[in-house]
A and B are shown apart, each in its own frame.
Chain A
């Protein structure tokens, strides 16, 4: 019984911690498929998390918070889109600067956010979808039904995104434009519009991921809450070959690693196995490196990722 409850516990946490990653993964697929590298997703997630808490704090509604998160992420993404698509700036530089901006802004506004509060209040969280009875079902019960709604959304959206990507003509355009934007332009489709939409989507999803990070269980915001999760999502894109469903699976894997290290910290203390928690924290990050290193030669990234689109260079 103990073993299975540990396992359950871990599964539960994995799923919950994977959710924000999975949401970022979808956004990442869209932006890289259209040819723009967005390492600013980390920053967009961060502002999303803060905006989620802010909106929830003011209105008491978790859904208003969600909306605020998506808006915040989307706004930062507009900046990134403008700089990389219209101004054709270096995409890495733009993303890095946006991360710095996000960090600065959230640190700056952290004080005002909780002004007047002695202790940080816990804001309204996402409701859990299923009736309590279902949650009692052995093994599957807690894992599937004791999750906040946002987890369900995080699991459903990749499937929707995959369907859109492969079954609609808009999805076809998305798949084409990152590989050969001129082909898309001469077919009469607006490349700029596709690219803007792709980048903004990545911001919106990153914001949503921030909201998932903060309103699923935590209920409060702290400085630099995201701790590099946005970057892990980037690695998942390559592991998942830029297919939303596989990317989500990769994110689940990384989320499990994240959950494992948290659990392991408690386990080691309970069972007297003294692994310093720092090494456990390292695990997801090291795992990402190993995954990337193992992929060498087999990645098939969209061909023009990183290169600005120049309509005249025909």
Chain B
């Protein structure tokens, strides 16, 4: 996003706040949550201090933050790409499972290839798994005009169930003789490397960062990105400009779902090292929140994912120190998104009025000279 014009907040006079919206929203969210913490009988300052420590206070904490941020980053990029194409891909949860399934299938198979290739194939499989999961909503949306929202939502639940089935003891991806449904161990050759010894921080974060930058580049500097953004902003004008809108939507949504698949992949081959029944627990929905807060911008997704990861990592410490349960992190996240969209409107309203009333002024200025 390029230069923005002045944002005026209600009651705050003529403040100029370029890019500050998300930070203000986070501050407000933290404020409201402090109220909740107080109501539960704890000290908000102590709580947030604990949270900061848990997120950034040590190497282990930073690693924890990174680990939590990774699936949010990858999933968030998927949702963000959809956003840019004008689509609401709320099926990240299902894509995570689909990617996890595909990656597991390849990851537990002893393939006669060198380790790096095994890893590569596993990652690619995960991407493809997610993309395949997105085929149906992509087709229905692009070529039949069916809203992708409900379809992807439904497929989330289908994905959870499918994965659950596949890791049962009697199923193709199930491990025998364990008390909790899970797949066999992913072969070491298909593991994502650990970045910091002694922590769980794995290469998935690097994958996410690289893809984030790459996606930014694609959107800004490639024809594919240009077409995608055009379709996202105004599909009719895109059609008039000669873009095959349906194909663009189909492709963009498929790639976005593939990114969601990568989120699941990285969890399975980087962190958990097995496909566990119900391993996601809502990561997909968090990824949606990440993308929404970043307004679909890949670089913003990186920042937001780290923030949300920090929240999650810190929440664990917060529970230990002041006794507030970990779901508080979700509450803060949700409030942050709500505040972002509440604040965001003001700029738009001013603009709508101003652009309308500017018309006579500028008309005069222009035609008066002829």
Contacts and interface: CB of A to CB of B under 8 A. Distances in A.
Is there any pair of Cβ atoms, one from A and one from B, under 8 angstroms apart in the complex?
yes
Interface of A: 39, 79, 82-83, 87-90, 92-94, 96-101, 103-105, 107-108, 111-112, 227-228, 231-232, 234-235, 276, 278-279, 281-282, 285-286, 288-289, 292-293, 295-297, 310, 312-313
Interface of B: 36, 40, 88, 90, 136, 140, 144-147, 149-151, 153-158, 161-162, 164-165, 168, 171, 282, 285-286, 288-289, 292, 325, 327-331, 333-335, 337-338, 341-342, 344-345, 348-349, 352-353, 356
B154 A97 contact: no
Contacts of A97: 289, 292, 334, 337-338, 341
B157 A285 contact: yes
Contacts of A285: 154-155, 157-158
B292 A93 contact: yes
Contact of A293 (B90, B146, B168, B328): B146
Nearest to A99: B285
A104 B328 contact: yes
A190 B158 CA distance: 43
A83 B338 contact: yes
A100 B335 CA distance: 9
Given A87-B341, A90-B341, A100 B285 contact: yes
Given A97-B334, A232-B154, A285-B154, 7 more contacts: A93-B341, A101-B331, A104-B330, A107-B327, A228-B156, A292-B151, A313-B352
If over half of A's interface residues share one DSSP class (helix, strand or loop), that class is named, otherwise mixed; here it is: helix
A88 B150 CA distance: 22
A112 B40 CA distance: 9
Contacts of A232: 154
B182 to A, nearest CB: 15
B38 to A, nearest CB: 14
Nearest to B292: A93
A193 to B, nearest CB: 20
A196 to B, nearest CB: 16
A200 to B, nearest CB: 17
Query: Which 3 A-B residue pairs are closest in the complex by CB-CB distance?
Result: A104-B330, A101-B334, A107-B327
B144 A293 contact: yes
Contacts of B36: 108
Given A276-B168, A288-B150, A100 B334 contact: yes
A100 B330 contact: yes
Contacts of A103: 282, 285, 327, 330, 334
Contacts of A82: 342
